Amino acid sequence: MKELRRNMRRVGYLVLALFIGAGVWFGYTVYTQGDAWASTAYNPRLAHTNSQRGDILDRDGVVLATTNAQGERAYLADEAARRALSQTVGDTAGMSGSGVENFFSATLLDLSTSLTDRLVELFNNARHVGSSLQLTVDAQLQAGIARLFPEGYSGAVCVTNYKTGEILAMVSLPNYDPYAANAAGEGVADTAYLNRCLQGLYTPGSVFKIVTLACALDYDPAVVQQRFTCSGVWEYEGGSINCMSGRTSHGEIGLQTAFAQSCNVTFGKLAYQLGLDRLRATAEKFGFNENFKFGDFMIYNSSFPTGVRNMNGLVWAGIGQGEVLVTPLHMAMISGAVANGGAMMQPYLVKKVETSLGQVTRRGESRVYRQVMSADAAQTVAKYMYGAVKSGTAKRAAISGYTVCGKTGSAETSNDKNVATNAWYTGFVYDDAHPFAVSVVVEQGGAGSQLASELASKALKLAIECVN
């Protein structure tokens, strides 16, 4: 009998511990995820509230979304412009889950309005109107980049201010008309609701060599003096790696030239020389394998392999292939950190939140996310990126009168050589008045030295013209 009571007490203690643990977990989850839960399209309170949504504006005050006299949500009159901003602004049907309309539903409806504000509205016989959000994006810039995107291709372009962290443009193609989304999605292309800047996980290809180079500078600064030999193909135990399918032989080459010419053999050898642990540690310092929680939006996690079975996996990871994946926004953060002396800024999308009574309840703030490399290392990487634009694979990214630094990439997505590679470019312009970073991916766009580099140049030029 005593044994039975003892066992019952043990079970009772266990049940109590589980109950307490569940309560703590629930409280923590509500604290960290409460805003996201409140904003989800599945929240019935959003569908039945009598509140009127606040406006969404761009950085210059251009109204991107408003509620008209008939109580209906209205977007930009120009169809091309509202499509270009579709995944950023979103729709009230919640089809683009990462859009502001959905992600900030609770704020736009002002579900947490104070009793005092409610009484003011009541005495003024006014319908409750939610808060307005002013974003950091520039509508003219985003619409202009969408027009410049190569016709018939899908992909993404991100432009950020690398000194403040402001997101200036997030172009994702294909896009959609928010009016169509609110009408049961008629005529909307597959994957159009996906914001590729935030949710597109791509194999980075050679743009990842920025990280591999930073790793080498961190662990062995003398590597800048090292010479490598490239015969076009490097065969090693378990596999081989080549430059331009073995058609390009760089001969004896230094690291700076190898970076400018995007020599796979050199960077494969460099990855092997560094080893997986060092390369992974640097990648994780740059934000790979990390759960980004920025508050203004949801971004998918970039990944770097935590373990590889053989030398082949390590070598290919060093040139951004294999299991390495990255989002375009994260890639813009990486190149922006190079420009910013190694300091990666935390990106943000909301510039200001203002109630219908004119009270500003929130302002976007510039924050350093992390120092991902030393200022000296960042200066060396920037120098190498400048060389890639000056005389390497990124020459088409140059802008007359400006110092542009960048890196191209051609990322394989299939073992079938008949499938064109994804074209990448990431880089920045060195200019105190226009501290802009950019990343571009053109799906099946071929070599990054062509479509992606040209588009990046045009996007930065437009940003210089549009953004004050």
- Does a structural domain hold residue 192? no
Query: Burial level of 50, CB count in 10 A (0-12/13-18/19+)?
Result: exposed
Strand partners, 404: 429
pLDDT band at 93 (very low <50, low <70, confident <90, very high): confident
Q: Which of 293, 225, 295, 236 is nearest to 264 (CA)?
A: 236
The pLDDT, as a whole number, for residue 392 is: 95
> 263 with 231: CB under 8 angstroms?
no
Strand pairing report for 56-57 and 132-135: parallel
Quickly state the pLDDT bin for 236 (edges 50, 70, 90): confident
In a domain, 65, yes or no: no
Q: Answer yes or no: is 176 within a domain.
A: no
Question: What are the E-state strand segments in 297-416?
Answer: 343-345, 350-354, 360-363, 368-371, 403-411
**C-beta separation of 179 from 77 below 8 A:** no
| Mean pLDDT within 194-221 | 96
Which residues have C-beta within 8 Å of that of residue 18, sequence separation ≥ 6? none
pLDDT higher at 331 or 252: 331
Model confidence band, residue 33 (pLDDT cutoffs 50, 70, 90): very low
**Mean pLDDT rounded to a whole number for the chain:** 87
Note down the domain range covering 399.
205-349+368-466
- In this structure, the number of other CB atoms found within 10 A of the CB of residue 114 comes to 10
- DSSP state letter for 326: B
Residue 448 confidence class, pLDDT cut points 50, 70, 90 = confident
pLDDT for 426-442, tens place per residue? Answer: 999 999 999 999 999 99
In this structure, what is the dihedral angle of CA atoms 7, 9, 13, 16, given to the nearest 10 degrees? 120
The verdict on whether omega for the bond into residue 174 sits within 30 degrees of 0, i.e. cis, is: yes
Q: What is the rounded distance in angstroms from the CA atom of residue 454 to the CA atom of residue 148?
A: 10
Residue with tokens 């579709």: 86
Q: What is the CA radius of gyration of the chain?
A: 25
Question: Cα 88 to chain center, whole Å?
Answer: 12
Which residues lie closer than 8 Å to 348 by C-beta, 6 or more apart?
136, 165, 166, 167, 294, 295, 296, 364, 365
Q: Which of 131-140, 305-314, 355-364, 398-407 has the lowest mean pLDDT?
A: 305-314
Domain assignment of residue 267, yes or no: yes
pLDDT-derived band at 96 (thresholds 50, 70, 90) equals confident
Round to whole Å and give the CA distance between 141 and 156: 14
Q: What is the DSSP letter of 341?
A: T
- The residue that leads in pLDDT, 283 or 32, is 283
- Joined together, the tokens standing for residue 290 give 């990390």
pLDDT at 25 over 60: no
* Average pLDDT of span 401-430: 90
How much of the chain is helix, strand and coil, in % rounded to 5? Answer: 40, 20, 40
Which of the four pLDDT bands, split at 50, 70 and 90, describes residue 190?
confident
Q: How confident is the model at residue 237 (pLDDT cuts 50, 70, 90)?
A: confident
Residue-wise pLDDT tens digits, 167-177 = 999 999 999 99
The answer to the question of residue 110 being in a domain is no
Beta partners for 171? 157
Q: What are phi and psi of 325, to 5 degrees?
A: -135, 145
Is residue 41 assigned to a domain? Answer: no
Q: What is the structure's pLDDT at 44?
A: 45
Any domain includes 211 = yes
Q: Does residue 277 form part of some domain? A: yes
**Count of domains observed in the chain:** 1
Distance CA 455, CA 394 (A): 11
CATH of the domain at 253: 3.40.710.10
Crossing angle between the packed helical segments 451-466 and 139-148, to the nearest 10 degrees: 160
Residue 338, pLDDT score: 98
Residue 123's pLDDT band (boundaries 50, 70, 90)?
low
Q: Which helix (H) or strand (E) holds 132?
A: strand 132-135
Q: Model confidence over 267-280: pLDDT tens digits?
A: 999 999 999 999 99
Element (H, E) at 424: strand 422-430
> Roughly what angle, to the nearest 10 degrees, separates helices 264-274 and 209-219?
40
Please say whether the beta carbons of 352 and 133 come within 8 A.
yes
For the cut 90, the answer to whether the pLDDT of residue 257 exceeds it is yes
pLDDT at res. 37: 43
